[in-house]
Amino acid sequence: MIVKSFHFLESLIRWIGYIAATALAALIALVVYDALMRYLFQSGSIALQELEWHLFDVVIMLGIAYTLQRASHVRVDIFYDGFSDRMRHIVNIVGALFFILPFSLLIVYVGFDFVLISFEQMEASSDPGGLPYRFIVKSLMPLAFILLIVQALSELYKELQLLRGLK
């Protein structure tokens, strides 16, 4: 049951990672368009610039759990690569238990009120010509860290199983 749940959630995170990759492609196209318009035609748009920031938020927030799933997160590989398999599993378990999970839980806890206030105020850009609905982008923060918690628990489960298999 646990394994099936993790498989389903990991496939969901994989699809969310693909959404983040699509947002990255859109962000690149938008930045190129915005730069061309600004430097070739002296025309710019506050809304386009804010859309760049919002897409950047989408890429980062939705890519966090996917990055952990693919083991592409930042790690001090010069040490990690020299560790035995057993030590790598222990490092991954300690990292999940003492760093990823507590930090993510804190972000979700603090972020919930942050997003709730933003929704209550129907927060929008304060710039003239800016984008409305900033609260939607802010809601990605707790969502991203909930997904990271799920992925960290999945990784923790796998690492514990692998560590048990090495003994």
- Total Cβ atoms within 10 A of residue 155: 21
Q: What is the mean pLDDT of residues 88-101?
A: 94
Please report, for residues 14, 26, 59, 66, 127, the alpha-carbon distance to residue 17 in angstroms, rounded to integers and kept in the order given: 5, 14, 8, 5, 31
Q: What is the mean pLDDT of residues 71-90?
A: 82
Spatial separation of the C-alpha atoms in residues 127 and 150, rounded to whole Å: 36
Question: Looking at residue 167, what is its pLDDT?
Answer: 54
Distance of CA 136 to the CA centre of its chain: 15
Q: What percent of the chain has pLDDT over 70?
A: 98
Which tens digit of pLDDT belongs to each residue from 109-141? 999 999 999 999 999 888 888 888 899 999 999
Q: What is the mean pLDDT of residues 75-83?
A: 77
The type of residue at 79 is: F
- pTM to 2 decimal places: 0.88
Q: Taking 60 as the threshold, does the pLDDT of residue 91 lie above it?
A: yes
CA-nearest of 119, 122, 126 to 141 is 119
Distance of CA 41 to the CA centre of its chain: 35
Q: What is the mean pLDDT of residues 57-80?
A: 87
Q: What is the mean pLDDT of residues 4-14?
A: 91
Question: Looking at residue 82, what is its pLDDT?
Answer: 84
Instruction: Provide the residue ranges of all domains of the chain, joining segments of one domain with +.
Output: 2-166
Q: Answer whether 160's CB lies under 8 Å from 93's CB.
A: yes
